[in-house]
Structure 1
Amino acid sequence: MKTMRTCFLALLCSLALATGAHAGRSCEEKKPSLQSFENGLQLAQKVMQSLDASGQQVVVLARAGQDLSKYRVRYSHLGFAYRQPDGKGGHVWRVLHKLNQCGTDESAIYRQGLGEFFLDDPWRYEAAYVIPSPAVQEKLLAALLEGHRPLLMHRKPYSIVSYAWGRKYQQSNQWLIETLAAAMEPGITSRERAQAWLQTMGYQPAELRLGPLTRLGGRITAANVAFDDHPPEKRFADRIQTVSADSVFEWMQMAQLAGKRIELR
């Protein structure tokens, strides 16, 4: 417990200076508690131990940042967790993912430790990951560690419900799956080509049922919510198709790119 509290104090000092950036959770302002930090660090520790025991190099990692159960979605946000040497004969796990600047319609790509990934006030202290096949891991690791490549598919304008096959906006899980596509096929250098590859590979986005009042309320009250990239025939039929963490997990298993989902609480 003493070690946990020491970690909490160090992280609190560093995060107090950071600009709010979130994905897969609400942007409500509230002070972090000691208990929430300890819960986050404990979950990060469990995930690290599980990843170490797996002997893998790269996994696709999910957290439950928001309560999306009414849309039949369990996990809200994905990142690539990868293992790299720490320069001292050991190794560390890093997470590469896309985050939205809270209260804005912009986003950026971040590299963080496991602790930071889970210290984002989640709805539920639960994690899950899938292990890509060795061939997929090899391609992913090369792409994640090569300076500019993680930015290749990134588009700064952000909507949390961006259309899965659109290119006006991009949400966090959409960046991840498009980056995965670009890693798999070196010839993919645009989001259009990445999405074409995903369609060829059978990816099916999540379909959220959002009525007009919900859409209107979200658009008026939040800068990071937009629906104008969705085809009118789908939008006005309350069928919002976007990339969810659950749909990515299901597709990777179906396409034989990864194994079954591993859950940790």
Structure 2
Amino acid sequence: MSRGLGMWHWLRRILWHGMWLFVLPAHKAMAGQSCVQTPLSGEQLIAAAATANDVQDALIQADRPVALLARVGNDLSKHGLYFSHIAVARRSPEAGTWRVWHLLNTCGTDDAGLFVDGLFDYYARHLTSQNTKLILLTPAMETDLAQVFDSGQAVRLFQPHYNVIAPPGKLRSQNSTAYILELLAAAEQGQVQRDRQAIWQTLKPVFQPDVLAIPYRKRIMGGLFTANADFSDHPVATRLRGDYPVVTVHAIMRYLDQRGLATKAWVIHDGQVTQSPIELDGVPNADASTPSEPTTIMVMR
């Protein structure tokens, strides 16, 4: 589909569907985007349509049944990170359309839900940037990940108690990135009946989280005591140190690369599609300081 014809398709969607985004505030957020209760502007909707069109073209050209899509919701650049949210895009065998499966938090609460969006809806949010990364998995991972969905395990692995700083492997809470990591780990392990505890027992020795460094004074004065940030999920020793292990998009990409679970990746930015290293958390050649090793982050918002 050419960009011109494709844009007409997405602009029609804005006319009949996107108009509601002018009227209704976005109430699902904090999973890779700021908790903003304002409608999207016309420019934001058109930008989302352009991104959706570019992503659809890339997916059609790749001709694969599943892919990962990372987006830039919250601005984490001060903390050494770029992409803040990640989702699984699946192609419908019947219609050939793409649906994006991900976890979102309800603003101002510790509740989460699973959402299935179209490409336009996935990018029609209050995002810091429309830049996005598309990651292709190995054929074996594609097959096993499809089984995770088809067997219902993708729903069983969901924990509705949301914690933006959920510790890796903690079963009483979850966030959007940890959920996607668990789906990928379930696919790699190839046992669709495994529960979260069993998955993490196998995953922990091979997964390197990033570290969120939050001094105690920042927790008190920085407004981090919110409904979706539960420090008590972490051990007392971790809280005393102020260093919190978390699952980030960067850590997921590093896991995929080190385990040989992905084959190729592109970053779509400013109307361009640029091939990218799988583990690169950023736009290729745009930031030489983009980390590939585990990151210590000063503050995450």
Structure 1 length normalisation: TM-score?
A: 0.90
SS of aligned partner of 1:228: helix
- The reply to whether residue 64 of structure 1 matches residue 72 of structure 2 is yes
- The residue that corresponds to 1:262 in the other structure is 266
| Matching residue within 133, 144, 148 for 1:143 | 148
| Residue from 163, 171, 176 that aligns with 1:172 | 176
Deviation by residue 1:149-206 (Cα, 9 ceiling, x = unmatched): 2111111110111111212210011011112222333165221111112124x11011
SS in 2 for 1:163: coil
Alignment correspondent of 2:87: 79
Distance 1:156 1:214 in 2: 27
Superposed displacement of residue 18, structure 1: 8.3
How many residue pairs align between the two structures? 259
Amino acid at match of 1:258: A
- 122-131 or 175-184, which deviates more: 175-184
Residue 234 of structure 1 is matched in structure 2 by: 238
* Corresponding residue to 2:53 among 34, 38, 45: 45
User: Any stretches of 5+ residues in structure 1 without a counterpart?
Assistant: none
Secondary structure of 2:92 counterpart: strand
Q: 1:106 to 1:150 in 2, by over 3 A?
A: same
**2: distance between equivalents of 1:40 and 1:137?**
27
**Contact (CA 8 Å) 1:71, 1:209: kept in 2 or not?**
no
Q: What's the counterpart of residue 192 of structure 1?
A: 197
Deviation string, structure 1 residues 119-167 (Cα, Å, up to 9, x no partner): 1111111100221100000111122234x32111111110111111212
Which of residues 3, 14, 20 is equivalent to 1:8? 14
Consecutive unaligned residues in structure 2, runs of 5 or more? 1-6, 270-301
State yes or no: 1:215 paired with 2:223. no
SS class of match (2:219): helix
Alignment pair present for 1:21 and 2:33: no
State the Cα RMSD in Å.
2.0
Residues 214 and 261 of structure 1: is their aligned pair in 2 closer, same or farther, counting only changes over 3 Å?
farther
Cα distance in 2, alignment partners of residues 64 and 194 from structure 1: 28
